[in-house]
Structure 1
């Protein structure tokens, strides 16, 4: 990956606030952040909010919350394009004065009719240059009441070539692209123009983005060159495919980053998983963000689309849940309980519960599913009740409830009481322990029954045992 001492590394992520921050953009943000951190550079957050009709403050808030949750700290920003309109206008004026852009009075209806005619003749749909000035050319009379757009005078011959950081050399002939609108009639710049001015002003050295932007790159390179601005290096990463083999996007099955937080995923697990979607470091599957930064020099990026695998993400998250600090998990579970209208146990006791059950869980939602039995009523399935709660075991359960009611509540005492009842009633451990689980926990399988019961209030255990 090419960098020079004379060009400080500066990367950016530039989401559009027309919806939530989705996984593809989050992955691009991660790559850009890791590359900047690896090279001791800077990472910029820009909000591309020129789609005024669809941009919302809620989307901005969600983008900022997602970046914060993922731990992708930025050195500058957020910078909003709509606060830079004067700058875009000044650059447009400069391009017009230099004959590199021009006013176009073709109406949207005329443009559509133009392109429909081209299509009917088997030609490529494109603007035909009616209003483009040229030596010896007489332009049409300016129509009354029509506010012009501004078009960039794209070179008519030659080609654009760049060495993509992911794809390698790419060449597109200028004759394949037409004169791009760079400013709308209302004075708001279009994406391909604003992004160039922004990257120039913000001294962006390396641009990582989805490969759907490859076709935009020739226009942008030509605008950079028309402005005499230094070119950043471009790296176009392949899309992420969903379960249906189609691109994961806001409109096709994508889930917001914050939804994963709500669904019980840890940010370090999400970063780990996202990094492996289209990038690798040998066979390493699990690694810290510090390791990622030390390894991510921009190489080893795949040219092929990545496949989203929900089961793999769940596995990765489960590995991080197992390693997580119990007090931290307790805080996350308490938040999950609050969403369900439950009152969480005291923090240190909840942390003990997390320690006991976290090896069985791949998300904090699953962990909360387990621990809810400590703070809310339970009901085992009818199948488990019929199978395990028999008349034969009823006397032993009642005897155990009596013993528990006077017990000095500890794991050792619970274990001793269970063994006494088993002996007295001629049972084996599973013949009593499983019915106890069904009544107290609402399920037949749990960790060691004495460890599970110890974390209950004694009165709840006794009450549930006597409910049979």
Structure 2
């Protein structure tokens, strides 16, 4: 059919307010009638009557009326195969027996069935799973989270957590939420995939990732964090500072850091105090904690801590508690300004663990920096 003939078919379909389909103008004509030297496409001679049935592992028995399916193109005018032909031949040649794909390809399954039948090939098993939508119900886009795996790595998500979250989108196994990879392999069944679209929710992904962080083996998590540093924001700069001492400090701080983080990015952010240089810059909340009265208490505390023979979390805690009692203040009235002085923030891992991890010299120096201001 010429471009003019095809355009006429489109205009007729538009005027009749129906979907455009190739009208089969050359379907039953003799090839000898074709004009010489005119480029042509090759279409499939699809059945025009009856039904094409797709027995789908997710969607069930889906019936298509053949009158609604056209003689679609197999080879373009330049001889190149279309997707519809290429994918069928490719799957057949590779021995594919199971096709799992989005339900936006469900109509393609009917058309591809015609190719399989025309070639005399065995049909594969089809499973068309629902698409993933954003929280607003719209088709998933980049603003929702339709990103490459590298983007999720840069955001600090653990591979195991992301796998777990994705496998639970549109699939259920009772009330179970968390699965190891092996459990996913053993439990997954297409019969339990939902037909309605799943919704991608970053809040749920973060909560799941936080669960995996907290439950991770510390040594394995540390190795993963180090391997991920080049991909995290500011990770490359941190990696440059990781001498043996800093690595040991980061590893020691890991249990406290992972308890407060939902992603590796948050975990690394929480570890910022380990790599901060004196004098520390204070965030707004930390600055509020360091009133003139609080700085005076820190000046008293630094002298008592300096007298400690052994620098351990337990020993420093005892000194801080004793001073709080002696001053007649709550522990937090002393511990929170201490946290601000040591980390520059109002939140951190356990403050006595921070003292032990930073060590005597660095801890005393940071406290003295803030105690001397006023």
TM range (shorter): 0.7 to 0.9
Of 189, 194, 215, 2:107 maps to 215
Cα distance change on mapping 1:382 and 1:361 into 2, 3 Å: closer
- Describe how 1:208-357 pairs up with structure 2 within 5 A: 208-249=100-141, 254-334=146-226, 335=229, 336=232, 339=235, 341-342=237-238, 343-344=241-242, 346-357=246-257
SS in 2 for 1:282: coil
Kindly indicate whether residue 20 of structure 2 is the aligned counterpart of residue 118 of structure 1. Answer: no
* 1:365 aligned partner: 265
Cα distance change on mapping 1:282 and 1:191 into 2, 3 Å: same
Identify the structure with the greater helix proportion. 2
The answer (yes or no) to whether the contact 1:333–1:365 under 8 Å persists in 2 is no
Of 287, 292, 302, 1:391 maps to 292
Deviation at 1:206, TM superposition (A): 1.4
* 1:16 aligned partner: none
Cα distance change on mapping 1:254 and 1:132 into 2, 3 Å: same
TM-score, length basis structure 2: 0.87
SS in 2 for 1:200: helix
Of 332, 341, 345, 1:430 maps to 332
Cα distance change on mapping 1:303 and 1:459 into 2, 3 Å: same
What is the CA RMSD across the aligned residues, in angstroms? 2.4
TM-score, length basis structure 1: 0.71
RCO higher in structure (CA 8 A, sep ≥6): 1
User: Residue by residue, what CA displacement relative to the aligned partner does 1:197-233 show, whole Å, maximum 9, x if unpaired?
Assistant: 1121112111111100011111100000000100011
User: Residue by residue, what CA displacement relative to the aligned partner does 1:359-397 show, whole Å, maximum 9, x if unpaired?
Assistant: 2111111111101111124533334423x2122222321
438-447 or 314-323: which moved more?
A: 438-447
Count of residue correspondences: 359
SS in 2 for 1:255: coil
Cα distance change on mapping 1:337 and 1:117 into 2, 3 Å: closer
Kindly indicate whether residue 84 of structure 2 is the aligned counterpart of residue 188 of structure 1. Answer: no
Higher Rg:
2
Aligned partners of 1:251, 1:228: CA distance in 2, in Å?
45
Cα distance change on mapping 1:417 and 1:250 into 2, 3 Å: closer
SS in 2 for 1:154: coil
Aligned partners of 2:323, 2:274: CA distance in 1, in Å?
24
Aligned partners of 1:218, 1:448: CA distance in 2, in Å?
61
